[in-house]
Amino acid sequence: MKWLKNNKLQKNAVYTAFFILFFLIYASYPTLYTQVRVETDICKISTDQFDLQWKHSVEKTAWSEQYQRQKNKFLLRHTDLISFGAGTPSNYPIEFQKNGVIRMRVNQNIDEINWVISRNMQGTILADQKIWSIFQSYPDYSLVNISVQYQPKWKSWWIGECL
DSSP string covering 78-113: EEEESS--TT---SSPEEEEETTEEEEEEEEEESEE
Rg, C-alpha atoms of the chain: 23
* pLDDT value of position 135: 97
Helix (H) or strand (E) holding 10: helix 2-28
Strand order in the sheet with 112-117: 41-45, 30-38, 142-152, 112-117
* pLDDT value of position 18: 63
- State the pTM of this model: 0.83
Alpha-carbon gap, residue 101 to 79, rounded angstroms:
10
* pLDDT value of position 28: 65
Q: What is the mean pLDDT of each run of 10 residues along the chain (163 residues)?
A: 63 67 61 95 97 87 94 95 74 89 95 97 96 97 97 86 95
What SS3 class is residue 32? strand
